[in-house]
């Protein structure tokens, strides 16, 4: 099988230019840092489009396929526009994501609204903007969605999200398909849900079932198990209730290569496994080939992104570690502190200088756990050097915060030696723009 973009640590356009600096998308990273400041998120358009095309090519042998990008990985107007232009729909989990993909010009019929606790306002927004599918997570939502759809005189296409009882060997916080999960109906509960839809909820049109088994998955057998369980479940429901469910949503979860020891399957590997298993399971259960949905997120955007930092202070612990601090950290990348995630990095202005020391990269935030990289080999470091951390497209900006009252970082899109700002850096005035001092305190405010 050919490689796909998720199997590379660096964006596809990464090079060392004539100045001896690292470049991505034809743009010198040190020049980007100087122009836009740091920390700076950088998205390589070529890499982003390449992985979208990898997926389309990988699944081209199966006609009944709908590809949805899991927006939670990174949701912005520009990235949504690119991904939509590449033919993807969107898996969204909030009103904010719905509104973003809508304003980016996406086809809302190709949007699926997912999530375990959708609010009334979010459901009404989705109904107003014509979201194509709802993945219903629980009994309360079934009732609420039926009421809200009825109030608009609409019939809504839905999938039932189920927990298929599959555990992946990934971090426990990103396992979602096991039985003890906050997400979805247990398979023992699906008959009760179908009974309600068939007998009482006349504004809901059940189309199939949905599962998501986890994130940063390197195994392949789990996808075979998931396909077989879901096809078996819609076949059982069809036979029992005389329905014609024909959709299964397999979620996403394909891993990416953060460090050299990571070995994720390619999109082509996963596609072959899924398609072969669908054919076998359809024959096994004597049912028609279903329409399938897949929802890659991390594997679409992660490799396309890097983050640039400026090196600052250093500290040598006697007989211990040597720390170098950067001007960002856990507020722009929460994953090392939250998931013990590991990253690869180089000095963008010294990419060819041999490494000479093993150091720890610390963040600037007031937490001992604010460590970006616990151990990495780098050349001699000077204050002002630019550190490029790879594979930060997924969940870095999405999870960013204003911890320690720090402004959120800017994001630029690079392609063909051109850079364009796609998210502005927050200002100090932005930080306080929603703060209010009550009138009764104003006499004490200068």
Residue 24 included in any domain = no
Residue 392 included in any domain = no
Q: Which of the residues 52, 168, 366, 388 is marked catalytic?
A: 366
Residue 50 included in any domain = yes
pLDDT beneath 50, residues of the chain: 169-178
Q: Is 366 assigned a catalytic role?
A: yes
Residue 118 included in any domain = yes
Tell me if 343 sits within 8 A of 390, measured CB to CB: yes
The predicted structure's pLDDT at residue 446: 55
How far, rounded to the nearest angstrom, does the alpha carbon of residue 121 sit from its chain's CA centroid? Answer: 24
The per-residue pLDDT for range 322-345, each reduced to its tens digit, is 999 999 999 999 999 998 999 999
CATH for 149: 3.20.20.10
Residue 159 included in any domain = yes
CA distance 248 to 57: 20
Residue 90 included in any domain = yes
Tell me if 65 sits within 8 A of 294, measured CB to CB: yes
Residue 205 included in any domain = yes
The per-residue pLDDT for range 4-55, each reduced to its tens digit, is 999 999 999 999 999 999 999 999 999 999 999 999 999 999 999 999 999 9
Domain residue limits at 285: 45-300
pTM, two decimals, is 0.94
Report the b/e string of 160-198 with b at 16+ CB within 10 A: bbbbbbbebebeeebbbbbeebebbbebeebeebbeebe
Beta bridge partners of 205: 157
Residue 238 included in any domain = yes
The predicted structure's pLDDT at residue 177: 42
The predicted structure's pLDDT at residue 14: 98
Total length of the chain: 446
User: What's the number of domains the chain is made of?
Assistant: 1
CA distance 212 to 304: 23
Report the b/e string of 91-115 with b at 16+ CB within 10 A: bbbbbebbbbbbebebebebbbbbb
CA distance 272 to 209: 21
């Amino acid at each position: 099988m050919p490689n796909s973009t998720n199997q590379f640590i660096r964006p596809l356009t990464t090079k060392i230019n004539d100045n001896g600096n690292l470049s991505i998308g034809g743009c010198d990273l040190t020049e980007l840092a100087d122009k836009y400041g740091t920390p700076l998120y950088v998205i390589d358009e070529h890499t982003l489009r390449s992985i979208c095309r990898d997926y389309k090519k990988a699944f081209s042998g199966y006609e009944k396929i709908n590809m949805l990008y899991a927006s939670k990985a990174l949701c912005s107007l520009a990235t949504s526009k690119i991904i939509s232009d590449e033919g993807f729909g969107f898996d969204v989990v909030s009103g904010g994501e719905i509104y973003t993909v809508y304003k980016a010009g996406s086809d809302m019929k190709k949007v699926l609204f997912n999530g375990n606790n959708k609010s009334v306002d979010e459901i009404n927004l989705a109904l107003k903007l014509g979201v194509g599918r709802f993945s219903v997570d629980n009994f309360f939502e079934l009732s609420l969605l039926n009421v809200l759809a009825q109030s608009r005189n609409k019939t809504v296409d839905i999938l039932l999200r189920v927990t298929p009882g599959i555990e992946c060997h990934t971090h426990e916080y990103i396992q979602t398909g096991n039985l003890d999960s906050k997400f979805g109906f247990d398979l023992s509960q699906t008959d009760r849900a179908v009974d309600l839809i068939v007998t009482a909820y006349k504004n809901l049109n059940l189309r199939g079932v949905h599962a998501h088994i986890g994130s940063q998955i390197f195994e392949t057998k789990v996808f075979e198990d998931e396909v077989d369980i879901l096809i078996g479940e819609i076949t059982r429901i069809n036979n029992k209730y005389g329905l014609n469910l024909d959709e299964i949503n397999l979620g996403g979860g394909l891993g990416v290569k953060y460090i050299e020891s990571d070995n994720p399957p390619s999109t082509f590997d996963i596609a072959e496994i899924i398609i072969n298993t669908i054919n076998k399971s359809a024959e096994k259960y004597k049912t028609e080939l279903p329409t399938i949905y897949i929802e890659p997120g991390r594997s679409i955007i992660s490799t396309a992104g890097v983050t640039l930092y400026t090196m600052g202070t250093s500290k040598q612990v006697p007989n211990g570690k040597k720390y170098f601090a950067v001007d960002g950290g856990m507020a722009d990348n929460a994953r090392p502190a939250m998931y013990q995630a590991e990253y690869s990095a180089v000095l963008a202005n010294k990419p060819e200088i041999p490494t000479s020391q093993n150091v720890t990269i610390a963040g600037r935030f007031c937490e001992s756990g604010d460590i970006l990289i616990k151990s990495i080999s780098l050349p001699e470091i000077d204050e002002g050097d630019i550190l490029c951390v790879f594979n930060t497209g997924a969940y870095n900006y999405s999870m960013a915060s204003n911890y320690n009252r720090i402004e959120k970082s800017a994001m630029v899109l690079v392609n063909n030696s051109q850079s364009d700002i796609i998210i502005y850096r927050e200002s100090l005035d932005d930080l306080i723009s929603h703060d209010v001092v009550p009138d009764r305190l104003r006499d004490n405010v200068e």
